[in-house]
Amino acid sequence: MTEKNIKIVSFLCNWCSYGAADLAGVSRMEYPADIRVIRIPCSGRMSPKFILSAFREGADAVWVSG
């Protein structure tokens, strides 16, 4: 199965996208299970180092969302 092999490291802002993800759950919307969420206090917390490191650790993609 190809699905298993994809991992998207997702850095989500606690106040915005993380909340949207919660709401998507409450609304029982379905979406691909490829994302792995890392909660950050604000998208300002992001640093290029995290993105590079995610790729280095085998991420297939990185998603940063404020």
Partner 1 sequence: MGNLLEHMGVDRDRIHFSWISSAEATKFVDVVKEISEKVRALGPNKKFVKDYSK
Partner 2 sequence: MLTLSEVQNITGEKGNFQVEILKKPRYVREDRCIACGACTEKCPGKFEDGYNADLKTRTAIYVEYPQAVPLKYAINPAACLKLTKDKCGTCQEVCPADAIDYTMTEETVTIDAGSIILAPGFKPFDPSRFDNYQYSKFANVVTSMEFERMLSATGPTMGHVTTFPKVPANPKKKKDKLLAEKRKDPKKIAWFQCVGSRDVNKCDNPYCSSVCCMYAVKEAIIAKEHAGDGLDCSIFFMDMRTPGKEFEKYYQNAKDKHGINFIRSRVHSVVEDAETGDLHIQYADEMGQIIRETYDLIVLSVGLEISCETRAFAEKFNIDLTESGFAKTGSFEPVATSRDGIYVSGVFNNPKDIPESVLDASAAASAAGDALAEVRNTLTKEIPAVPETNVIGDRPSIGVFICDCGSNIAGVVDCPHVTEYAATLPYVTVAEETTYACSQDAQDKMVEIIKEKGLNRIVVAACTPKTHEPLFQETLKSAGLNKYLFEMTNIRNHNSWVHKNNPDIATEKAKDLVRMAVAKAGLAQPLKEEKIQVNASVMVVGGGLAGLTAARSLASQGYETHIIEKKDTLGGEALKLWKTAQGEDVQEHLSALIKEVQANDKIVVHTNTTLEGVDGFVGNFTSTLNTDGKTTELEHGLAVLATGAKALETTEYSLGQDERIIRTLDLDRLFRENDPKLDQVQSAVFIQCVGSREPERPYCSRVCCTHSVENATALKDKNPDMDVFILYRDIRTYGERELLYKKAREKGVIFIRYEVTDKPKVTVEKDFVAVTVKDHVLNQPVTIEADLVTLATALVPRKDERLANFFKVPLNDEGFFVEKHAKLGPAEFATDGVFVAGSGHYPKPVNEAITQGRAAASRALTLLAKKDSLFTSGTIASVDVQKCSACGVCVSICPYNAPSFMTEGRFEGKADINPVLCKGCGLCVASCRSGAIHLRGFDTNQIFSQIFALGETG
Q: CA 59 → CA 33, 51, 62, distances in Å?
A: 14, 9, 7
Nearest to 65, CA basis, from 30, 14, 23: 14
Contact with partner 1 (CB under 8 A) among 1, 35, 39, 42: 35
What CA–CA distance (Å, rounded) separates 47 from 45?
6
* 19 contributes a contact to partner 2 by CB under 8 A: yes
- Nearest-approach distance from CB 45 to partner 1, in angstroms: 14
* 44 contributes a contact to partner 1 by CB under 8 A: no
Binding site for partner 1 (CB under 8 A): 2-3, 5-6, 8, 15-24, 26-27, 29-32, 34-35, 43, 48, 51-52, 55-66
